[in-house]
Amino acid sequence: MSTSDEHGISTDKLEKKYKGIRRRKWGKWVSEIRVPGTQDRLWLGSYSTPEAAAIAHDTALYCLRGTSTAPENFNFPLKLPASARIGMSPRSVQNVSTNAGMAIDAQILASKRSSDNGENVDHQNGMNYVVDDHQPLNISVEDYL
């Protein structure tokens, strides 16, 4: 399904393609990964941004397959969370991956909200951090489970 922005340009071509994610028709980005050695898929959640879904996938990929995974198989090889560990149970991998994705989603949404409101945003290490954001994030846990 192809969509267009206000200038009639196809947004599908403008969006960067990340591994292990897809977009639902209603706009949410979702991620899942196959558990090695099984037919099982591990649901990693639904997110507002493709970057958050990609981080969740990267985290699960690292936890499930370890350092043998080539760096080019990751979307963001340098942005794995400190809580990512090799050899975790699938349920623990799911929790760590979902938390990582939710954190990125929150950062990106807060950054977009602050730039829309003209607030000050500090750019550190390629990530945006809101310096002065007084509005709470509108995130529901049910969106991510």
Task: Using CB atoms within 10 Å of the CB of residue 96, give its burial: 0 to 12 exposed, 13 to 18 middle, 19+ buried.
Answer: buried
Task: Look at residue 117 and tell me if it is in a domain.
Answer: yes
CATH at 27: 3.30.730.10
pTM of full prediction above 0.85: no
The residue-averaged pLDDT of 65-86 equals 87
Q: Measured between alpha carbons, how far is 66 from 126 in angstroms, rounded to an integer?
A: 24
In a domain, 5, yes or no: no
Instruction: Assess if residue 66 is contained within a domain.
Output: yes
Compute the average pLDDT of residues 76-91.
88
Does residue 74 lie within any of the structural domains? Answer: yes
Residue 130 and residue 114 in contact, taking contact as beta carbons nearer than 8 Å: yes
Into how many domains does the chain fold?
A: 1
Distance of CA 85 to the CA centre of its chain: 18
**Which residue range forms the structural domain that includes residue 123?**
12-143
* Domain assignment present for 20: yes
Banded model confidence at residue 131, pLDDT cuts 50, 70, 90: very low
Let me know if residue 7 belongs to a domain: no
| pLDDT of 32 above 90 | yes
52 in a domain, yes or no?
yes
CA dist., res. 124 & res. 142, Å (int): 30
Tens digit of each residue's pLDDT (9 = 90 or more) over 38-62: 999 999 999 999 999 999 999 999 9
89-111 per-position pLDDT tens digit: 999 999 999 999 999 999 998 88
* Angstrom distance (rounded) from CA 73 to CA 90: 20
Average pLDDT, the chain: 79
| DSSP code at position 20 | T
pLDDT of residue 10: 42
Of 61, 29, 32, 34, the closest CA to residue 46 belongs to 29
CA distances from 14 to 8, 17, 30, 54 (A): 12, 9, 19, 17
Query: Which position has the token pair 């996938």?
Result: 57
Identify whether 86 is part of a domain. yes
- Report the alpha-carbon distance of residue 103 to residue 33 in Å, rounded: 19
